[in-house]
Structure 1
Amino acid sequence: MGFFFSYLKSRKRSIGIFFLFCIIFLIVFFLYHLPLGAVVYPAFVCAGLGGIFFACSYYKTYKKHVRLKELSKLPASVMEGFPRAVSIEEEDYQELIQRLREEQTRLKNDMTLRYTDWMDYYSAWAHQIKTPIASMRLTLQNEDSPLGRKVLEDLARIEQYVEMVMAFLRLDSDSTDYLIREYEIDDIVRQAVRKFSGQFINKKLRLVYEPLHRKITTDEKWLLFVIEQILSNAIKYTPEGGMVSIGMEEPCTLSIRDTGIGIAPEDLPRIFEKGYTGYNGRMDKKASGIGLYLCRRICRNLGHEISAASVLDQGTCIKLTFRSSPVE
């Protein structure tokens, strides 16, 4: 019914002209004192022909409307089969749409090519920079001194920043290499803990962790990245002598708690926003506000949930919730 009234509104000029002509004929016939039958019969004939024309026009317009609605649900790049243009105006509109589609396709191809170039460059850069990092790590392997440990810690931080850049770029890539299957969560957690073992020792942090005995359906590489980001923040914002605990809550939630400086209540709802650093980030000039944003994006892609709870000056708890089954 809505389309019918819209159609009448679009044809109001033609309908108005038709009735205007009818009135003119009535006035002329009245002024010349012609018989009423000579007026009524032609009026009915005209009305009948006008009704047939109106019905045909309405049917064609409705079919065109339905077809355009179907096309509107398709991506612009695959829109084909526009209804045949029946007026110069429609031909002009279709030509304009075609030009816009061609321009959109060209811009999309340019952006894809540019994105591919950037990905290739950063991928090559990431692999190349890992070589001197590995060389420096090997050189410092036997350097058991405060300076050596500090340099190793900085190297680990550089590696983490490189991985963060690559994760940021790959998230929007069509070729993101997810490998979803069942993993024992202990294997993933141990990898993350092992990576930060030196920082735990340097800051004299106590780690509370017992085997979790759970299997989860996830991607090992991406979940490992998330856990590493959470542990990195826990270590960064926990003062020397503090504690970091890793445990499992029911039904299947991995919790990582620390006894750090906590997060201000006004900052807590926004910590997963891109680029948001809050009070802690302003105090720590090196904070980028990207780590937790990437964690949320990755968790959404994997079908997991990430949440945070914190009390200022007491600590923070980050929780990862996913489906699992007990280890047999």
Structure 2
Amino acid sequence: MRNLLAYLNARRAMLIFFALTVLIIRLLGYLAAQDTVYVKYETVLVSFAFVCVVLIDGGRYRRKLRQLQQIGLRTELLPRELPDPNDALSREYDELIRAFCKENEQLRAKYNLESAEQEEYYTLWVHQIKTPISAMRLLLDNRNDENARLLKQELFKVEQYADLALKFVKLGDIAGDLVVELCDLNEITRAAVKKYSLLFVYNKLSVEIEPLEKEVVSDSMWLGFILQQLLSNCVKYTHVGGVRIYMERGALVVSDTGIGIRKEDLPRIFEKGYTGYNGRMDNRASGIGLYLSKRAADALRIQISVESELGKGTKVSLRFPIRDEFMEM
């Protein structure tokens, strides 16, 4: 019905012309004192011709509209699937769309090239910065005083920030970086905890890992990254107690006994650059870690949710997709 109304609106000039034609035929028949039978015949003939034109034109309009609607759902079909223009105005629109598509392809190619160069630069930078970090860590390994332990922690943080910068760039095209497969959840979780063991030990925080579901459908590298960001927040905002990792109703849960998150901050914790009350109290917070974790989780079809109570701790749940959900991607 909507398409019919749209067609009638597009052809209103033709409808007005038909109505005027019928009116003129009747008026001329009246002025010429012509027999009404002939006037009716003339009206019927004109109406029949008009209906034939409408049916033919309406069929073309409908086919063209369907093509455009399909293109609207799949813009990658532009411009090769554009309907053939049937008049001068349509040809002008067709040429304009093709010009826009060509410019868009050029801009996309330029963006892809710049993104690739940026990722290459950050990758090179991260690998280069790790060389002096490793050298300083070797020098500190020969010392066991308090200052050496503090410096080891700071070196670890520098290395993590460098990796975070690289992940930030890679997230621009994360689909091309994903390797989705069955992953050992125990192995990935324990590797993430081991990576942060230095900070856990220094801050005297406990870590409890309960038996976890053996395998999940995910990308091991990006899942590890998500867990590392969650553990980083646990260490940063937990001063007494520790972290507990366990399964609950099919979801992986990372909970801590930290300072918690304010109720008004919870809806915005995954926003880029948002630090909330805790972040304002801690000038080291950047508001990037959870933002990147949420983007990676979305790409992996992982449902991530957060519960928190101020002064009691925070609980983050990761619910993994089934294999069929990735087949639909």
Q: Secondary structure at the match of 2:304?
A: strand
1:1-41 superposed Cα distances (whole Å, 9 cap, x missing partner): 33223222222222212221332232233223233344333
Superposed counterparts of 1:254-273, under 5 Å: 254-273=252-271
Pick which of 8-17 and 110-119 moved more. 8-17
Superposed counterparts of 1:191-210, under 5 Å: 191-205=191-205, 207-210=206-209
Assess if the C-alpha contact under 8 Å between 1:216 and 1:323 holds in 2.
no
- Distance (Å, rounded) in 1 between the aligned partners of 2:299 and 2:108: 24
Q: Secondary structure at the match of 2:177?
A: coil
Assess if the C-alpha contact under 8 Å between 2:243 and 2:257 holds in 1.
no
How far the C-alpha of 1:282 sits from its partner, in A, is 0.7
Assess if the C-alpha contact under 8 Å between 2:29 and 2:39 holds in 1.
yes
Query: Which amino acid in the other structure matches residue 195 of structure 1?
Result: K
Q: Which residue of 2 aligns with 1:312?
A: 310
How far the C-alpha of 1:170 sits from its partner, in A, is 1.5
1:22-67 superposed Cα distances (whole Å, 9 cap, x missing partner): 3223223322323334433322222222222222222222222222
Q: Which residue of 2 aligns with 1:253?
A: 251
Superposed counterparts of 1:53-92, under 5 Å: 53-76=53-76, 78-92=78-92
Q: Which residue of 2 aligns with 1:156?
A: 156
Q: Which residue of 2 aligns with 1:279?
A: 277
Of Structure 1 and Structure 2, the greater helix share is in: 2
Assess if the C-alpha contact under 8 Å between 1:258 and 1:315 holds in 2.
yes
Q: Residue 74 and residue 177 in structure 1: after superposition, are their counterparts in 2 closer, same or farther (change >3 A)?
A: closer
Q: Which residue of 1 aligns with 2:325?
A: none
- Distance (Å, rounded) in 1 between the aligned partners of 2:84 and 2:320: 52
Q: Which residue of 2 aligns with 1:2?
A: 2
1:283-312 superposed Cα distances (whole Å, 9 cap, x missing partner): 111211111122222223333332222221
- Distance (Å, rounded) in 2 between the aligned partners of 1:103 and 1:127: 36
How far the C-alpha of 1:130 sits from its partner, in A, is 0.8
Query: Which amino acid in the other structure matches residue 177 of structure 2?
Result: T
Query: Which amino acid in the other structure matches residue 10 of structure 2?
Result: S
Assess if the C-alpha contact under 8 Å between 2:255 and 2:314 holds in 1.
yes
Superposed counterparts of 1:15-164, under 5 Å: 15-76=15-76, 78-164=78-164
Q: Secondary structure at the match of 1:175?
A: helix
| Number of positions where the alignment pairs a residue of Structure 1 with one of Structure 2 | 320
- Distance (Å, rounded) in 1 between the aligned partners of 2:12 and 2:248: 66
Pick which of 14-23 and 134-143 moved more. 14-23
Assess if the C-alpha contact under 8 Å between 2:306 and 2:315 holds in 1.
yes
Q: TM-score, normalised by structure 1?
A: 0.89
- Distance (Å, rounded) in 1 between the aligned partners of 2:178 and 2:51: 62
Query: Which amino acid in the other structure matches residue 212 of structure 1?
Result: P
Q: Which residue of 2 aligns with 1:215?
A: 214
Assess if the C-alpha contact under 8 Å between 2:25 and 2:42 holds in 1.
no
Q: Which residue of 2 aligns with 1:299?
A: 297
Q: Residue 272 and residue 108 in structure 1: after superposition, are their counterparts in 2 closer, same or farther (change >3 A)?
A: same
- Distance (Å, rounded) in 1 between the aligned partners of 2:136 and 2:15: 85
Q: Residue 10 and residue 267 in structure 1: after superposition, are their counterparts in 2 closer, same or farther (change >3 A)?
A: same
Q: Residue 309 and residue 40 in structure 1: after superposition, are their counterparts in 2 closer, same or farther (change >3 A)?
A: closer
Pick which of 14-23 and 207-216 moved more. 207-216
How far the C-alpha of 1:210 sits from its partner, in A, is 4.5
- Distance (Å, rounded) in 2 between the aligned partners of 1:213 and 1:109: 44
Q: Which residue of 1 aligns with 2:181?
A: 180
- Distance (Å, rounded) in 1 between the aligned partners of 2:293 and 2:31: 86
How far the C-alpha of 1:211 sits from its partner, in A, is 5.1
Pick which of 140-149 and 209-218 moved more. 209-218
1:62-103 superposed Cα distances (whole Å, 9 cap, x missing partner): 222222222322224644233222211111111111111111
Q: Secondary structure at the match of 1:262?
A: coil
Q: Secondary structure at the match of 2:176?
A: coil
Unaligned runs of 5+ in 1: none
1:94-143 superposed Cα distances (whole Å, 9 cap, x missing partner): 11111111111111111111111111111111111111111111111111
Identity over aligned residues, as a percent? 34
1:153-209 superposed Cα distances (whole Å, 9 cap, x missing partner): 0110011111111222212314214252231x332233222222222232222x142
Assess if the C-alpha contact under 8 Å between 1:244 and 1:258 holds in 2.
yes
Q: Residue 100 and residue 130 in structure 1: after superposition, are their counterparts in 2 closer, same or farther (change >3 A)?
A: same
Pick which of 38-47 and 288-297 moved more. 38-47
How far the C-alpha of 1:213 sits from its partner, in A, is 5.0
Q: Secondary structure at the match of 1:192?
A: helix
Assess if the C-alpha contact under 8 Å between 1:76 and 1:101 holds in 2.
no
Q: Secondary structure at the match of 1:172?
A: helix
Assess if the C-alpha contact under 8 Å between 1:77 and 1:105 holds in 2.
no
How large is the Cα RMSD of the aligned pairs?
A: 2.1
Assess if the C-alpha contact under 8 Å between 2:252 and 2:319 holds in 1.
yes
